[in-house]
Amino acid sequence: MRESPEESALHRQPAQQAQISGVILPGWPGGRVRLPRPRPPRFVEVLVRRLPIALAVFAGAAAVVGTVVVHPGSAARADAAVTAQAAAAPSSVRRVGTEDFADPGFAHLGSKYYLFRTGAGYGTRWTTSGGWSAIHKSMAAIPAWVDHSKPLLWAPEVFQSSDSRGALYVMYFTGESASRHVHCIGVATSRQPAGNYTPGSKPVVCSPWVSRGYEAIDPAAYRAKDGKRYLIYKSDYRNASGFQIRAVQMDTQTGTRVVGKSIAKIVSSAKIEGPSVIAHGGKVWLFASRGDYINCSYNTDVWSASTFWGGRFTRVKTLMTTKSTRLCGPGGGTVINVGKTTRIAFHAYVDANHNGVKDSNKRQAYTGVLKWDTKGRPYLT
């Protein structure tokens, strides 16, 4: 099958230009100017945590009415061989630039693919006839409800809906609440996919236990077959306990307003985060990261259920590890269906020697194609 120009662009490097203070500089290698920064001490990394975060969930699963309770142990043995196809790096995987691009939100909007990254301004780039654009800010200002002294803006997710005026582009994002001193999730909207996202004046979702210091991070969007929209996120206590993947129903038209209470979809005794949900083959698939986000143990798991809201999610397999991809800590992913093709964007640390040890704290973005085996399970090609 011949690729469209947009699909071909997924296999090319970004255009050789950079935007610095609104000025495009042609021919700048790597697309952006970055000054070297010293690596922080380990305890600082752990306390400041995340920019897609964590997880050592070698999960085995006991279900509780629509919720899966995960305990470390049995799944580790079941996954002992993500091996045979791990010998060589998957051939569909392509790096998108050399910049720091953690937690890539991934969307196909109109005729283009878009990536959005963690960090102030939620930098975005999109496919062009020559590969990928330079990085541009998609949100001009820090949201009013976010602590401006430490905004901790993470993990954007963008999708298209509509309102009375026509097409509406919606961004879910994470920020540190100035009033609650904990992470919550906000919503921003725009009339164009690449930028000018305007955030609401207050968060749309916080953890049910926000008053006890629990956070809500890593939002994802899912629209079910019946048209209902859901916001899926991670809740936990200071990245130390109480790990859950939760979901709340949003208004059907725009996906910007909560219309019900949240429920737990996965409950874990170990770290789990960064959910992404799609439908395929009559099932709903939930992808999530696990392991320690600050090193190469970070990886990606897959769960499935018969339906999203009322279904019970069961852990299926490990999709990506450092060994299977030859990339350090592949996680923070977003999975999308475009026509009959399933694609994924994720990040990984720089590990030039492929020795399972990161070279720096920079996480670069990658895209790849997922296919489905004879048992209906996804794998990275």
- Please state the domain extents for the chain: 5-380
What pLDDT does 38 receive?
A: 42
| Secondary structure class of 284 (helix, strand, coil) | strand
What length is written for the chain? 381
pLDDT recorded at residue 77: 47
pLDDT score, position 247? 99
Q: Residue 10: its pLDDT value, please?
A: 72
Higher pLDDT, 39 or 200: 200
Residue 185 burial (10 A CB sphere; 0-12, 13-18, 19+) = buried
Pairing type for strands 105-109 and 112-116 reads: antiparallel
166 has pLDDT over 70: yes
Count Cβ atoms below 10 Å from residue 119 Cβ, excluding itself.
Answer: 18
Return the CATH architecture of domain 5-380: 5 Propeller (2.115)
Helix (H), strand (E) at residue 42:
helix 42-48
User: What CA–CA distance (Å, rounded) separates 341 from 329?
Assistant: 24
Cα-only R_g, the chain: 19
Q: Cα dihedral sign for 199, 200, 204, 210?
A: positive
Task: Find where tokens 């697309």 sit.
Answer: 31
CA distance 366 to 351: 14
Choice among 7, 157, 218, 273 that is catalytic: 273
pLDDT, tens only, 101-114: 999 999 999 999 99
Rounded to whole angstroms, how far apart are CA atoms 235 and 216?
5
* pLDDT tens-digit series, residues 39-53: 444 444 444 444 443
pLDDT in tens, 320-347: 999 999 999 999 999 999 999 999 999 9
Tokens read off for 22: 């609104």
Over residues 343-362, the pLDDT tens digits come to 999 999 999 998 999 999 99
- In this structure, what are the phi and psi dihedrals at residue 111, rounded to the nearest 5 degrees? -105, 5
pLDDT, residue 13, reads 57
> Which is catalytic among the residues 99, 103, 218, 236?
103
Active site residue 292: no
100 catalytic per annotation: no
CA distance between the termini of the chain? 16
Q: Check pLDDT > 90 for residue 301.
A: yes
Query: Measured between alpha carbons, how far is 160 from 107 in angstroms, rounded to an integer?
Result: 9
- Mean pLDDT, the chain, integer: 85
